[in-house]
Amino acid sequence: MRLLRRLAPLLLLAVTVASSAFAAFDFSDDRFRGIFTTENLDAIIEEYELYDGWYWTTKARIPQTFHGVPDHPGWTDTAVNKYNRTNYVQGWYGCRWGSNFVLAEDPLYGYGECFGFAQFIGYLLDGEMNPHRDWDFYYSVDAAGGLRVGDIIRVEYKIRDNEYRHSAVVYAVNGDEILFLQISSNNYNRISVGSGFSDGNHRDESSLDGIARIKGLKILRSPLNQP
């Protein structure tokens, strides 16, 4: 009993800190919820200016030298590469999604840029803050009964000494051709719309068979995304 009394203030403090941390990230948008179509994703892209070739960034907790615009974090049409970082703003980096919903599931890579981007799109489609954790999941294309628009594809695997980790949202399904909405953390979080799956090892993979053969495949699907 004495121990519980001593621990009570600490437990209360921990709950208060955790609550305030989550409360610090306040975002809501249910306009696109429950509609799993390419047209709805196009509406999201237009609303949030997630145009092909633009960038997804936010202010980091530690100084970085990646691309971003302070007034309007996450979007720019200025080309950036690692040899000529034009118009970048020091201190902007990563994903615009709440770090509490990224770090808990992807702690090794911190902000998890592509991970956070997929979480954001998943939230707009479903209302779930952490699709990577709370959506239905399958470990093969066959088990999932194929792929559907709005699914999140996650891969994690290692080849020799190289680790590959990537998340992408299914943008369109045209028979056996699968196209994605995703960002490339290797290219300063550049947004790609309607392209094949690219994780650094596979590049622009758009065939269903090719995607099905990727190692470490995990398919996440919203419970709302039913036929």
pLDDT greater than 90 at residue 187: no
Q: In terms of C-beta density within 10 A (0-12 exposed, 13-18 middle, 19 or more buried), how is residue 166 classed?
A: buried
159-170: average pLDDT: 92
62-66: average pLDDT: 44
pLDDT greater than 80 at residue 171: yes
List of residues 6+ apart from 120 with CB closer than 8 A: 95, 96, 97
In b/e form, how buried is each residue of 106-130, taking b as 16+ CB within 10 angstroms?
beeebbbbbbbbbbbbbbbbbbbbb
Range with the lowest mean pLDDT among 59-68, 159-168, 172-181, 197-206? 59-68
Mean pLDDT across the chain, nearest whole number?
Answer: 77
Confidence of residue 132 (pLDDT cuts 50, 70, 90): very high
45-50: average pLDDT: 85
Q: For position 58, what pLDDT does the model report?
A: 56
More confident site: 191 or 111: 191
Confidence of residue 223 (pLDDT cuts 50, 70, 90): very high
Q: Which tokens in the block code for residue 209?
A: 């068979």
pTM of the model: 0.79
189-199: average pLDDT: 92
Q: For position 105, what pLDDT does the model report?
A: 72
pLDDT greater than 80 at residue 108: no
Q: Among candidates 94, 110, 109, 107, which has minimal Cα distance to 188?
A: 94
pLDDT greater than 60 at residue 84: no
Contact predicate 203/192, CB 8 Å: no
184/80 Cα distance (integer angstroms)? 12
Q: Which tokens in the block code for residue 66?
A: 């990646």
> Is 106 strand, coil or helix?
coil
Q: Which H helix or E strand runs over 124?
A: helix 113-126
- Written as one letter, the residue type at 32 is F
